[in-house]
């Protein structure tokens, strides 16, 4: 959909504030009631999904120009998708996240991008990675010595897709390696794409660089097809979302699993058994792209149809993505299964989880905003009294590791695989 196609939504938004707060029914305190990092940090209405709808109308009508302020406002969105959930607690007819991304694409089309975005996209094009400085030549170094099958050379039941973060960052590489060993140890027949392993480009989509995303996605889909991939497992939530939702729209037809889903399944099947106690109290951060944005894509084509004069529906029935069926229980099941672990919940969880701040490319393009967003989460995590904040996404982990809460305190940040590893 082009930006102009969102006009009905823009004109039907009623400014209920649902896009700025966690679902009102879930509010437990003033401190952690809000949920839109963008307006939370910048404060002007413009930075909320509601403001973005209105800004688009003004842009399309020619009253507003894409000047620096507007460009920055458009791109200062982590594409975390919470606004979409908040909106759909009561509305069936607005797609705020799709609109936010389309608004970014509108700016990108006109060359209105942020300085910090440029090296990310340049590197995607040049080195097939969205980590500036990362070289294609080194992408699979992390996988040496893991006995992963190269799917272009031999068959395997499952393709392991590490993603850029796990592939390049030394501390995170160890986690990817641990994940592979864990699955292999449980008897999973694992392979990887070898030389064809490239960035999923999901973040390009989040940033509104839709052409760059599509180019990369099509290439990857072709690679998966050539390699005969039937199932992909990834420890990265961004990659997970890209494959499960965005690639599916472009024709990818493979089973996509996040590592937590697979590990949860293997624990239930008795193929992973814990032998050590991990005496810790932890709290779990739902990555946006695994949780509320982790729902499966359902193909749909249709049009709006009004019934009873003015009631909006779609013909045929249109799928509704509102985070209801994201991946929330699998990681919690794993944590609960590890001996010694006590799981305490933060106030903003599951479909209304607060973003880590790295989404939408903001960790590169708007580092202060991104750090503030992460700091908010650390404050929330520390308020639970937990020893550690656990997550299932390298972008989240990386953003949290350097963040401090409102009192300047840090918290230990763990990838869920690290905890599993400790218990083995």
Partner 1 sequence: MAFPKEIYKALEDIVGKRNISENIGVCETYRCIPSQSSAHYGPSEHWTPLPQAVVLPGSTEEVQNIIRLCNKYGIEFKASTTFWAAMGYIGGDFALQIDLRRMKSIEIDVKNMCAIVEPFAIAATVQAEAMKVGLNLNIPGVGCSSSALANASSWIAFGPNTIFMGSGSENILGMEWVLGGGEVLRTGSLGSGDGWFCGEGPGPSQRGLLRGLFGTAGTTGVCTKMAIRLHPWPGPADFPTYGTVPAYKADFGPNFKCYTLCYPSWEAWARSVQYFHESDIAYSGHRQFSMFGRNLKAAMLKIITDPDKQLCDIPELLEDPYIKEQNEKMKLDYQVIIAGFSERDLEYKEKAIDYILEQTGGWKSEMMLEKDMHDYALLYLTRLGHKNLNFVMCGAYEGTFGLSPNVWRTIQVVEDATAQKRKWEVEHTSIAATGGDSAMGSLSGIGGGGATGWEFFTNFDAYDKESVRGTCKFVDGNQEFHNKYSFGPDFCRWNSDVRHMNGYNYTQEEHDEMFSKTPQPWIFAYQYKIREAVNPKNLSGSYLRTVNPEKLK
Judged by the rule CB under 8 A, the positions of this chain that interact with partner 1 are 7-8, 11-18, 21, 23-30, 33, 43-46, 50-51, 54-55, 57-59, 63-65, 67, 69-70, 73, 85, 87-93, 305-315, 317-318, 320, 322-324, 351-352
Residue 222 CB, nearest approach to partner 1 (Å): 35
For residue 204, the number of C-alpha atoms closer than 13 Å in the C-beta half-sphere is: 26
Residue 96 CB, nearest approach to partner 1 (Å): 12
Q: C-alpha 216: how far from its chain's center?
A: 18
Give the residue from 294, 319, 301 showing the smallest Cα distance to 244: 294
Rg over alpha carbons for the chain, rounded to the nearest Å, is 21
Residue 22 CB, nearest approach to partner 1 (Å): 9
**Closest to partner 1 by CB, 288 or 388:** 288
Residue 85 CB, nearest approach to partner 1 (Å): 7
- Three-class SS of residue 381? helix
**Closest to partner 1 by CB, 261 or 351:** 351
End-to-end CA distance of the chain: 48
**Closest to partner 1 by CB, 115 or 308:** 308
**Closest to partner 1 by CB, 347 or 415:** 347
- Angle, vertex CA 62, rays to CA 59 and CA 63, nearest 5: 85
For residue 137 the two structure tokens come to: 């030549």
Residue 332 CB, nearest approach to partner 1 (Å): 15
Residue 23 CB, nearest approach to partner 1 (Å): 7
DSSP assignment string, 108-137: HHTT---TTHHHHHHHHHHHS-SSTT--GG
For residue 322 the two structure tokens come to: 């509102």
**Closest to partner 1 by CB, 243 or 284:** 284
**Closest to partner 1 by CB, 16 or 219:** 16
Question: Treating both helix axes as pointing N-terminal to C-terminal, what angle do 49-60 and 96-109 enclose, rounded to 10 degrees?
Answer: 40
């Amino acid at each position: 959909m082009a930006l102009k196609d969102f006009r009905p939504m823009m004109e039907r938004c009623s400014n209920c504030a649902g896009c700025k707060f966690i679902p009102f029914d879930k509010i437990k305190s003033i401190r952690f009631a809000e949920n839109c990092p963008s307006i939370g940090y910048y404060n002007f209405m413009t930075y909320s999904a509601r403001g973005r709808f209105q800004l688009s109308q003004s842009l399309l009508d020619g009253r507003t120009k894409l000047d620096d302020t507007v460009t920055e406002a458009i791109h200062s969105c982590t594409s975390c998708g919470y606004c979409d959930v908040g909106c759909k607690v009561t509305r069936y007819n607005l797609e705020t996240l799709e609109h936010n991304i389309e608004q970014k694409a509108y700016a990108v089309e006109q060359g209105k991008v942020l300085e910090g975005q440029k090296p990310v996209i340049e590197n995607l094009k040049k080195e097939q990675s969205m980590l500036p400085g990362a070289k294609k030549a080194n992408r699979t170094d992390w996988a040496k010595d893991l006995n992963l099958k190269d799917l272009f050379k031999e068959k395997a039941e499952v393709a392991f897709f590490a993603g850029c973060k796990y592939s390049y960052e030394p501390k995170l590489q160890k986690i990817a390696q641990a994940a592979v060993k864990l699955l292999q140890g449980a008897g999973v027949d694992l392979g990887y794409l070898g030389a064809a392993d490239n960035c999923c480009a999901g973040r390009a989509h989040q940033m509104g660089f839709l052409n760059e995303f599509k180019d990369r996605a099509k290439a990857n889909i072709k690679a998966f097809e050539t390699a005969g991939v039937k199932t992909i497992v990834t420890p990265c939530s961004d990659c997970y979302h890209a494959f499960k939702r965005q690639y599916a729209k472009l024709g990818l037809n493979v089973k996509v699993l996040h590592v937590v889903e697979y590990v949860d399944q293997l624990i239930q099947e008795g193929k992973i058994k814990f032998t050590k106690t991990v005496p810790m109290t932890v709290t779990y951060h739902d990555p946006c792209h695994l949780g509320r944005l982790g729902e499966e894509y359902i193909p749909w084509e249709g049009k709006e149809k009004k019934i009873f004069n003015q009631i909006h529906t779609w013909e045929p029935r249109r799928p509704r993505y509102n985070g209801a069926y994201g991946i929330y229980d699998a990681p919690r099941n794993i944590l609960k299964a590890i001996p010694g672990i006590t799981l305490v919940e933060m106030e903003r969880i599951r479909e209304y989880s607060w973003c880590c701040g790295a989404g939408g490319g903001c960790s590169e393009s708007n580092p202060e905003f991104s750090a503030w967003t992460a700091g908010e989460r650390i404050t929330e995590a520390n308020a639970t009294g937990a020893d550690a904040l656990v997550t299932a996404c390298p972008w989240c982990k990386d953003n949290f590791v350097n963040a401090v809460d409102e009192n300047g305190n840090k918290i230990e940040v763990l990838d869920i695989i690290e905890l599993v590893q400790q218990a083995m």
